[in-house]
Amino acid sequence: MDALAEKLAPDVVTQELAAVERVEPELWVRADGGRYRAGRAASCLVVPAPGDRVLVAVAADGRAWVLAVLDRAREDALPLGFDGDVALRATGTVRVEGDAGVELRSKRSVGVATRLFDVRALDVRAATERFGLTGGVAHVSLESAKAVIGLVDTTLERLSTRMKRCYRFVEEIDMTRAHEIDTRADKTIHLRSKNTFVNADQLVKLEGEQIHLG
């Protein structure tokens, strides 16, 4: 390699075909001109792996860079590697498609900032230890929903519900505490239990055309 450097001008760069010997702790390649410790060119996005056939640029001072990965030794996932932060910008639409799937993974966080976030899927599954949601207005339209939840604590200023039928099944305790309770029915109210207690500190009042006790 020293003899080759003497024949070349300092600013002359040659290109050679090489094979990757190892990638850690440093990238080493072997070509007909010799064995080089090479860096990965900024334009080479594919991370070289041992056994890959690559195109190497060799400078007169012995420095070398892998310009491109030509053939890969293994047919596994194609690794794209970047050093530092990466920004992908486009004046139009950026589309990521995968026939088998698309995965986003991060050791710290994944952030999405947009004016409209539209998700369309046949099945949606989410698993998390903590979930936080902050918003102004929410509109939810579901044909059918089923929820199995261990514990729910809600704090609301106002809750209004409208439904055609409501069925509640409580196995143990159903407790309601309020300043005032107003229950009205157009036709009938049935209260049935083994024991019924009605307690009032001041007044208990019953009104009706007929009152049957006993």
Read off the pTM.
0.58
Dihedral over Cα of 6, 12, 18, 22: its sign:
positive
Q: Shortest CA distance to 80 belongs to which of 42, 111, 54, 50? A: 42
Q: pLDDT truncated to tens, each residue of the chain (214 aa)?
A: 555 545 555 578 899 999 999 998 899 999 998 999 999 998 999 999 999 999 999 998 889 999 999 999 888 888 888 888 888 899 999 999 989 899 999 989 999 999 999 998 888 888 888 888 888 888 888 888 888 888 888 888 888 999 899 999 999 999 999 999 999 999 999 999 999 999 999 999 988 889 888 7
Question: What's the rounded Cα separation, in Å, for the pair 150 and 202?
Answer: 39
Question: What's the rounded Cα separation, in Å, for the pair 160 and 174?
Answer: 20
pLDDT at 146: 87
Q: Please report the domains of the chain, with CATH numbers, ordered by start residue.
A: 2-71 (2.40.50.140)
Kind and range of the H or E run holding 3: helix 2-7
**Residue 115, phi then psi, degrees to nearest 5:** -75, -35
Beta bridge partners of 34: 31
Residue with tokens 């083994």: 194
Question: What's the rounded Cα separation, in Å, for the pair 86 and 22?
Answer: 26
